[in-house]
Amino acid sequence: MKRIFALLMVVMLVFALVACGSNNNSSNNNSSSNNNSSSNNDSSSNNSDSSSGGKAAGDIQLAGLVFSDDQFMNALLRGYETAANEFGVKINLQNVAGDAAREAELINTFIEQNYDGIAIAPLNKDGSVPALKVASDRGLLIATTNMDLRGGEAGFIVGGYTSDDFENGLAMGAYAAEWIKKNIDGKVYLGIIHFDHSLPDQSGARWGGFLEALDKAGTDYEVVSSQANSQGDPMGLAASMMAANTNMNVLYACNEGSTIAAAQAVEAEGRLGKTFVFGYDSSDQTSAMIINPNTALIGVVTQDPYTMGYGAVTLLCQALVEGKDMSATMGTTATCPGEVLVKDNPDQVKAWRTSNGLAN
């Protein structure tokens, strides 16, 4: 069921990419075509069934990169692998563990070993994009996930899939504002656990959207503590934030690990019913916490990493295996919409778990 859903999502998102491509500035489209003419057009003329220089699918070698070991990135890897298997191509899956030097080293290795393409969740724009551009110039096709690259800076990518962190934060904040109105009397004293220290653009968009939604709803709130989970101990961090701000009645966590830890800290500190948690990213553990009425986690906004990964490798394989003209999607990034899962709707959470292969 998950593969069927993902395939339908990819088909829909390809149409979105085509629409995005049609709206791009013509100069960007022209430069994208020029950047990739040697790797696409020449090989297409050699073999109408493939743009990989006449290689059979089984001889095509792809790489799939992520930058951390968590449920989100592991779902991305599963998406990469599933699509590669369906097209019959080889794929080398790697996790750079947040190490920019390791990411650059691997990209260079793929160039030297004559890989055909890379699907990647880039670590950051400043370091990752130039290295990927070099790989593109050397003939590798690039598809991105989990980062919004478009226009001139990434005209060389065959396409990408990502979430909109700000819109997802906005959706979570809109629900939180309504929940707060019904369940909290008086002012909200808010704590935020973020990861601005490692990925400031992504992290800032997540809490920025959340706060904007509270502002739009007219929520009376004060941010009493905003802390980065830079020491790798989000539970201890949440506990110390509540200890220093005993009036804190809402915590918003910007990623899966911090969301779980914040909810656990509320229980450990005996603050159930006093401090309520909203978060970002769903997993087996967070969704189970939402269903459980005796936890502090009220809701999370999900992403769809599996479909992102599946879509990225599908784009590469459409070009390399099917010889498809990718000019409509060059330099564009499609958004996989998020979903808000909440305690008030356990059936929705259970349906999400079922669609992700989790037991209820």
Is the predicted pLDDT of residue 24 greater than 50, yes or no?
no
The average pLDDT across 111-137 equals 94
pLDDT for 331-340, tens place per residue?
999 999 899 9
Which residues of the chain are in CATH 3.40.50.2300 domains?
A: 2-163+305-336, 165-302
- Per DSSP, what are the bridge partners of residue 96? none
Phi, psi for residue 88 in degrees, rounded to 5: 75, 25
Mean pLDDT for the chain? 86
Contacts (Cβ under 8 Å, ≥6 apart) of 156: 32, 35, 36, 132, 133, 136, 137, 142, 330, 331
- For residue 81, give the H/E element and its range: helix 71-87
pLDDT at 54 over 90: no
Compute the distance between CA of residue 118 and CA of residue 65 in angstroms, rounded to an integer: 8
Q: Looking at domain 2-163+305-336, what is its CATH homologous superfamily?
A: Response regulator (3.40.50.2300)
Which pLDDT value is given to residue 38?
A: 30
Q: Which CATH class is domain 165-302?
A: alpha beta
pLDDT tens for each residue of 129-178? 999 999 999 999 999 999 887 666 789 999 999 999 999 999 999 999 99
* Structure confidence at residue 198 (pLDDT): 87
274-310 residue pLDDT tens: 999 999 999 899 999 999 999 999 999 999 899 999 9
DSSP β-bridge partners for residue 278: 252, 299
Region 207-233: mean pLDDT is 96
Q: How far apart are CA 132 and CA 138, in angstroms?
A: 10
> 2 or 350, which is more confident?
350
* pLDDT surpassing 90 at residue 30: no
- Summary count for the chain: helices (H), strands (E): 12, 12
